[in-house]
Structures are given as C-alpha cells and as structure tokens.
Amino acid sequence: MISVSVDINCIDFNVNSVDVDIISVSFNINSAGFNTNSINFDTKLLDAEIIFIYTDINRSKTGSRNLSSEWRHDLIVTCVKVYVKKEHIDEFIKATIENHRNSMKEQGNLRFDVLQSIHNPAEFTLYEAYRTDEDAAAHKETAHYAVWRDKVAPWMEKPREGVPHRVVEPVDEGEW
C-alpha cells in the first residue's frame, strides 16, 4: 500500500504595491520498501506548467491561475558580474562603453547598462536586456562583442559571470 501526502503552502504578500504569491510544495511518500520523507522543492514558476486553486482572503476572490502562462514572457535580462584589476579600470570602462554603444544598436536590444559599484570601483555589473533568447544569443555573435571580450579578458581579476533572468515585470516595452 502506498501513502502519499502533499502539503502546498501559498504565501501572498505585497511588495511596493505589487501582489506576490510564493508557493512551497512538500511531498511525503510511504510504501512497503520505499519511504521518502519530506521531499521538498521550490516550484520554479517560470519553467513549469502550474495550475493551482487559490482562495485570496485579502482580496475576497477564489479561482485558478496558470502561473506559467501568466508570468512567462520572452524578455530576457542577463546580469553579468565583472571584477577588473584595479590598474585596468579606466581601460575597461572605455572598452565597455564602446561595447555598450554598439550593443544598443542591435535588433532586439532593449537596454545595455554598465554599472560600477559604489563600494568597490573594480566591480561592475552589465545589465543586458533583450526581447528574446535568440536576440541575447545573437549579441554574442557580433563583431563588437568579440572585440570587447578579447580586449577586456586579460584585465579581469577572474572570469566574468553572467546570470540570465526571465522578466516578470515590466513586460510592456514602453516601460523600458
């Protein structure tokens, strides 16, 4: 005999006037010869088809939402963290501004911000926003990116790290 219990917790709260739902799912599966207690995982709302029933006490409504279609958008942002050797900061900035200017001309580019840490002048974040994954990938095939990549690589303390993100909000390009 198999025994399965599922615990689903939905936390609803408001951040800066935006309603946010967090879902936590826990499974407890028991059967003869098989016992897995409290298999916990965080639900990735953007990568899965999730439909759930909810009761919203604060807003007095009940219904179902398909979160994957509601929150999935093609817009993609990559945040690239770069640590530059102190003696190359000015050269890095100059080369990166050139890369920024050319990147802003690319089809599909919405933003290309170059940020320098206030606390550590050798720490930079490149905030790259594109309409689609394909547009973001095409950026890495451009001549100006190849020139920038090869030029700045020896100036880095360690290899740069890029983390891609799906855009939840704003999804209206007019708000970019």
Taking the alpha carbons of 139, 145, 150, 155 in that order, is the dihedral positive or negative? negative
* DSSP designation for 138: H
Which domains are present in the chain? 3-71 (no CATH), 76-175 (3.30.70.100)
Q: What is the pLDDT of residue 71?
A: 45
Strands (E) across 32-172 are located at 34-42, 51-56, 61-66, 76-83, 109-116, 123-130, 161-166
Give the rounded percent of residues in the chain with a pLDDT score beyond 70: 59
Contact 80, 96 (CB under 8 A): no
Output the six-digit token pair for 59. 């807003």
> In angstroms, what CA-CA distances link 165 with 46, 130, 162?
10, 11, 10
pLDDT digits over 133-150, tens only?
999 999 999 999 999 999
**Model pTM?**
0.59
At residue 150, the pLDDT reads: 97
pLDDT band at residue 175 using 50, 70 and 90 as cut-offs: confident
pLDDT at residue number 26: 57
Position 29 confidence tier, pLDDT thresholds 50, 70, 90: low
Whether 50 shows a pLDDT value over 50: the answer reads: no
Residues in contact with 61: Cβ distance below 8 Å, sequence separation at least 6, in sequence order: none
Q: How far apart are CA 107 and CA 115, in angstroms?
A: 22
Of 146 and 32, more confident: 146
How do residues 52-103 score in pLDDT, each as one tens digit? 333 333 434 444 444 444 444 578 899 999 999 999 999 999 999 999 999 9
